[in-house]
Structure 1
Amino acid sequence: MESRSTAEAMSVRECPECRASVPVDDRYVEWCAACDWNVDPGAPEPEPGRIAAARRRLAHAHGEQLAAEMEQGGGQSGLVGRDAATVSAFALSLVVHGVTVVLAVTGILLVVLGWDTGVQPLLGALLLGLAAVLRPRPARLPKDAPVLYRADAPRLFELIDEVGTAVGTAGVHAVVVEPGANASVTTYGLGARRMMTLGLGLWEVLPPQERVALLGHELGHFAHGDTRRGIVTGGALDALATWFYMLAPTPPRGLLDRFVNAVTFLPRWTAYGLLVLLDHLTLRASQRAEYLADVSAARAGSTEAAVGLMDRLLASQAVGPELRRESVAAQVRGGPAGREACERAEQGLWERLAARMGAVPEREYERLRRVAARRGHSVDSTHPPTHLRRRCAAAGGPYTAQVTYDEDRGAAVAHELAPARAALARRVIRDYAG
């Protein structure tokens, strides 16, 4: 991993708890490395919703055990196993989709056979609408983000193909470029073609080999499998969550509201119970797939790059505020002057972001690692805690890079991304403040 900024702090103060020396840098939080004074001064994270909270508890419960298994060398390669839990999850998912099919068939029968009454066709149309909402749907290519195909960016796709070979899978058919600090893979369309999403807010701040590690991690999800990403199990999870929210109680303003809440009480909590059960059956395998994807990141880009990537993920929470700050600063003036300021801000936006994130000192990364361990930080409610992923990535291997990202390749890929970078810089400056 490339060395980070080592700029000296402007002054030193005494820790009020243990009297150790504390470097002071106005850009970052003051904290004591000796006793952890003020290491996490931020407000507590907002309470997640009921479903997210249940998933986070499961994620933390499985995280430590799976991390220990990975550190001991368990499950370093191969597909996520088809164990009893996975088979049970698939069967439960089919039952959930079976309910949707029953709703659709019943709706059709009511519409076709119930024309003698005025009520049955209306009820049938309602059931058909409900089935349409609950049906499993393949992802689609977005219409509001740049989409690159092989002909648009041959060197980028060549890099992705090479990383895919290193981790034991094929490349992708399309790359969606977005402004945020994110990356993901999924399939789209009825043909289940592969799509990768690259967030420039993450891609642009990563050193070269960490970009390779990022691609290795995302393609590792294809290499190792993840039942929660499939249309059957993933669709069932979405359907159950939809049931739960559709059946949510309304504030009781009258007798009718209380009656409806009472009628929907049992179906609502049945849906919630099935959702928790399906989460329980799939989350361990999904987290194992995440750890294996981290192994793929290390194999493709090196262990050092995979560990560095975890640190960048911890710091990436600052990317959104940085982009909003750029947008607000450019829009404070109205009229022609404001338009000119926006145009100037669009130029070099991603370079400025990379420079700011590249200047984060090692001391701040250490603070973020300690905060992550305290809070059990994870990318979302289904990922293993990031500090455990980092620990496992550091313990594995060590792997040397199978794919290198040299200057020539970097320049070629940057040239292919230039139109998307310009379009998204314009969107960030003009829209992010809102």
Structure 2
Amino acid sequence: MRSTTEQTVQPCPQCGTEIRTDRRFTTWCSACDWNVDPVEPDERPGRVERMRRGIAHRYGERLLAEMTGGESRRPRRDVAGVLACTVALCVHGVTVALLLAGVLLVTLGWGGALPVLGAFLLGLAWLLRPRFGRLPDDAPVLHRADAPRLFALIDEVAACAPTSGVHAVAVTAEVNASVSTYGIGQRRLLTLGLGLWEITAPQERVALLGHELGHFAHGDTRHGVIIANALHSLNSWRYLVAPIRNPSGLEVILNALYLLPFLAVQGVMMLLDQLTLRAAQRAEYLADASSATAASTEAAVALQDRLLVYGSAETFLLRESNARQVRDRAKRDEPEQGLWDRLAAYVESIPESEYERRRRVGALRGHSVDSTHPPTHLRRACLLAGPAEPAAVRVDAEAVAAITAELADARRVVARRVLRG
């Protein structure tokens, strides 16, 4: 049970109901929702992000109804997906055209300004080139020989998706986890954020692995090589032709010249979003289903609840880092073994009232925070709508201890980096 040692009691100023809450968190009323969401957004989203959120809102409830209404949960290729790939290939075609034009101008320019123009086009093509990812150089990376028990668990969970495991695991301090690929051969990488791993129970960790590996199984198109790189190229174009803010006289002319290219890039980005956002949200629901299959519905729902307080975990790590900065510098090289235990204890002390408040805030805000993921309350509802899944993969105390030992060096390295800022 979560600690309530810092509980306060006061009447609700709106309806008079007695409020019992933890002084470390927002005081709110569960009876009338007074002060349930007191924080205003830090900044207003741009046009593209507003459009994404609008699309996500339109699809949200409808997609939940489809996922809970007996529709097949297998990944599918629809017309929108085919069109998205076609648009993405056209974007890459522009990059190839720039490359070929640059080569021709440099090799056949016969002096003058043409080779200079060709060199410019080659530089532009290089900037827009597809990226195949690489292993991070700022985080510990584990391979199968470094952590055989962890990789065995990953393989066991992957089989439930079903898919194959990963080739490497990168360990960071993030309160998050993700999967990606690296290299021309598109080898698989799991990025494991200790900020999330350390605050979850063993079965919740299985659920986390099930969700991330589910993205490989269910074909999330926005993370595929073709579309992901097209979005990268479009973002680069958008940066290059974005209007200059507070322009001078000459810059006004440049803005006028940039206007049509900027609108064209913006339009293609919006089209790709329109074609892929629904599939991206569907992929999240399917990944949640893989999570429940591997770890059980109960563990998958518990993981969703943990994700509600990721902001509190991030704040705790920032406080720890700031506190370390003001301590005696002579002690900065001492290993900080207890950071992750302190984080886990702090998250465990968060009262149930704060989890409930976050759930209600998520329902109020909907897709206004993240347009690429369905709101947590909808994902939670989807998991609870079907029959309860038993756990296909269970981890015992021996496995937990073995995996903890394999992560020990990475835990020390990452903790030291967190505390050193």
Q: Same fold (TM over 0.5)?
A: yes
- Once the two structures are TM-superposed, the CA of residue 256 in structure 1 deviates from its matched residue by 2.2
Query: Is structure 2 residue 334 aligned with structure 1 residue 343?
Result: yes
Question: What's the CA shift string for 1:39-81, capped at 9, x where partnerless?
Answer: 11223342233333322222222111111111212232x22x1
SS of the residue corresponding to residue 181 of structure 2 reads strand
Contact preservation (8 Å) 2:85, 2:226: yes
Q: C-alpha separation between the residues in 1 aligned to 2:147 and 2:386?
A: 33
Between the aligned residues of both structures, percent identity stands at 56
What is the 5 A alignment of 1:53-68? 53-68=50-65
Query: Is structure 2 residue 392 aligned with structure 1 residue 397?
Result: no
Across the aligned residues of Structure 1 and Structure 2, the Cα RMSD in angstroms comes to 1.6
Q: C-alpha separation between the residues in 1 aligned to 2:387 and 2:192?
A: 27
Q: 2:71 aligns with which of 67, 71, 74?
A: 74
Letter in 2 for 1:422: R
Equivalenced residues, count: 421
Query: Is structure 2 residue 100 aligned with structure 1 residue 100?
Result: no
Q: Which residue of 2 aligns with 1:407?
A: 397
Q: C-alpha separation between the residues in 1 aligned to 2:386 and 2:127?
A: 43
Q: Which residue of 1 aligns with 2:106?
A: 111
Letter in 2 for 1:197: T
Q: 1:38 aligns with which of 28, 35, 38?
A: 35
> Where in structure 1 are there 5+ consecutive unaligned residues?
none
Q: C-alpha separation between the residues in 2 aligned to 1:299 and 1:123?
A: 56
Query: Is structure 2 residue 320 aligned with structure 1 residue 326?
Result: yes
What is the 5 A alignment of 1:221-260? 221-251=215-245, 253-260=247-254
Question: What's the CA shift string for 1:161-220, capped at 9, x where partnerless?
Answer: 000011111100000100010100011100011110000000000011110000000000
Contact preservation (8 Å) 2:175, 2:194: yes
Question: What's the CA shift string for 1:314-364, capped at 9, x where partnerless?
Answer: 10111221111111112213xxx33326626x2210010011001111111
Q: C-alpha separation between the residues in 1 aligned to 2:188 and 2:386?
A: 28
Q: 2:122 aligns with which of 117, 128, 145?
A: 128
What is the 5 A alignment of 1:277-292? 277-292=271-286
Contact preservation (8 Å) 2:234, 2:269: yes
Query: Is structure 2 residue 412 aligned with structure 1 residue 417?
Result: no
SS of the residue corresponding to residue 376 of structure 1 reads helix
Query: Is structure 2 residue 365 aligned with structure 1 residue 375?
Result: yes
Q: C-alpha separation between the residues in 2 aligned to 1:153 and 1:325?
A: 31
Contact preservation (8 Å) 2:208, 2:303: yes
- Once the two structures are TM-superposed, the CA of residue 254 in structure 1 deviates from its matched residue by 3.5
Contact preservation (8 Å) 1:228, 1:234: yes
Query: Is structure 2 residue 305 aligned with structure 1 residue 311?
Result: yes
Q: C-alpha separation between the residues in 2 aligned to 1:377 and 1:99?
A: 33
Contact preservation (8 Å) 1:303, 1:396: no
Letter in 2 for 1:242: S
TM-score (norm 1): 0.94
Question: What's the CA shift string for 1:355-395, capped at 9, x where partnerless?
Answer: 10011111110011001111125773311122211111122
Flag the 1:377–1:351 CA change in 2: closer, same or farther, 3 A: farther
Contact preservation (8 Å) 2:179, 2:191: yes
Q: C-alpha separation between the residues in 1 aligned to 2:315 and 2:80?
A: 41
Contact preservation (8 Å) 1:153, 1:416: yes
**Structure 1 stretch 233-242 or stretch 189-198: which is displaced more?**
233-242
Q: C-alpha separation between the residues in 1 aligned to 2:118 and 2:47?
A: 32
SS of the residue corresponding to residue 29 of structure 2 reads coil
Letter in 2 for 1:351: D
Q: Which residue of 2 aligns with 1:354?
A: 344
Contact preservation (8 Å) 1:244, 1:269: no
Q: C-alpha separation between the residues in 2 aligned to 1:339 and 1:215?
A: 39
Q: C-alpha separation between the residues in 1 aligned to 2:6 and 2:384?
A: 28
Q: 2:354 aligns with which of 346, 364, 367?
A: 364
Letter in 2 for 1:26: R
Letter in 2 for 1:83: D
SS of the residue corresponding to residue 420 of structure 2 reads helix
- Once the two structures are TM-superposed, the CA of residue 9 in structure 1 deviates from its matched residue by 5.8
Flag the 1:370–1:312 CA change in 2: closer, same or farther, 3 A: same
> Where in structure 2 are there 5+ consecutive unaligned residues?
none
Q: 1:154 aligns with which of 140, 143, 148?
A: 148
Question: What's the CA shift string for 1:291-329, capped at 9, x where partnerless?
Answer: 000000111111111111111111011122111111111
Q: C-alpha separation between the residues in 1 aligned to 2:369 and 2:416?
A: 27
Flag the 1:348–1:287 CA change in 2: closer, same or farther, 3 A: same
Letter in 1 for 2:411: R
Q: 1:50 aligns with which of 33, 44, 47?
A: 47
SS of the residue corresponding to residue 12 of structure 1 reads strand
TM-score (norm 2): 0.96
SS of the residue corresponding to residue 281 of structure 1 reads helix
- Once the two structures are TM-superposed, the CA of residue 283 in structure 1 deviates from its matched residue by 1.0
